[in-house]
Amino acid sequence: MAIVIDGKLISQQIQEELALEVKTIKTNGGKTPHLAAILVGNDGASETYVGAKVKACEKIGFKSTLVRLSQDTTEQELLYIIKGLNADADIDGYIVQLPLPKHINEQHIIEAVDPKKDVDGFHPQSVGRMALNLPTYLPATPYGILQLLERYKIETVGKHCVVIGRSHIVGSPMSILMARNTNPGNCTVTMCHSRTANLKEFTLKADIIIVALGKPEFLTADMVKDGVVVIDVGITRVTSDSTKSGFKLLGDVKYDEVAAKSSFITPVPGGVGPMTIASLLVNTLKASKKEVYK
């Protein structure tokens, strides 16, 4: 039976470690790390995500600033706010919560963020530096997965890792990170997507499978070999008669049957999800300490 990777616990541990470090920094008269977040419009899920990030900052002693903008904010107006955050010496790092309203070009916004403050790791410079294994801010979800693999001491060297999904925020960076000459890393990586023919042929050979496609219970027991490590990134809200709220969250993995064949597996919820905030906070502290860009 699989060891269940407890992302909630690891995320809490990381946040406690960060809180201790911030306390020491403050005691020694150092600068309080400061994260800002821009939220455009009032999408319910985005409000929840940003709210959780701000709350996490407060809990560990960071400063946080939430910039709320209305749904009809223009791209020019948003670029002006970004210019201000780039120039604000007190703000160490900031995020622009995605998705943005349709009339704003996301790529223009991502590229306007000063790479020195790009704690989401989405700027092309950050992505390029990641690929070249240079110091940078790693995107939060993939970074969170690396931290889970590291803290559970999961061997990755020489393993065959299959990544399903090639989004810019999860699948693509994950495939780069698992192939890098780092630990965790040094895998032989197969990147799969919606055009992959015979996906099962690849998953059956995988030692590690990272699933990030957003299709509930997509990965089934017949697609994996015994002893596989399974990292489930998917989160889909589905209606349910068995919960008070009337909905539940499902991952991309048919959990019970795949867990029975796995050596390690992340649950949903409580696996990869909680790690995203922890990684963002780690990146913000790095920005504050000027660890990435001196």
Q: Which residues bind ligand NAP (CB under 6 A)?
A: 141, 164-167, 169-171, 192-196, 199, 212-215, 233-236, 272-273, 276
* Residues 252, 232 contacting (CB under 8 angstroms): yes
* 97 has catalytic annotation: yes
* 120 has catalytic annotation: yes
- DSSP letters spanning 60-115: HT-EEEEEEE-TT--HHHHHHHHHHHHH-TT--EEEEPSSPPTTS-HHHHHHHS-G
Nearer to ligand NAP, 36 or 219 (CB): 219
SS3 of 188, please? Answer: strand
Where is 161: in which H helix or E strand?
Answer: strand 160-164
Q: Phi and psi (nearest 5°) for 191?
A: -100, 120
Nearer to ligand NAP, 91 or 268 (CB): 268
- DSSP letters spanning 242-262: SSTTSEEEE-SB-HHHHHTTE
Cβ-closest position to ligand NAP: 167
Nearest Cα residue to 230 out of 272, 197, 199: 272
CB of 60 to ligand NAP, least distance (A): 18
Q: Which of 92, 118, 120, 232 is catalytic?
A: 120
Q: Which of 6, 15, 92, 97 is catalytic?
A: 97
CB of 205 to ligand NAP, least distance (A): 16
Nearer to ligand NAP, 82 or 211 (CB): 211
Q: Which of 15, 53, 147, 207 is catalytic?
A: 53
Nearer to ligand NAP, 73 or 284 (CB): 284
What are the catalytic residues? 53, 97, 120
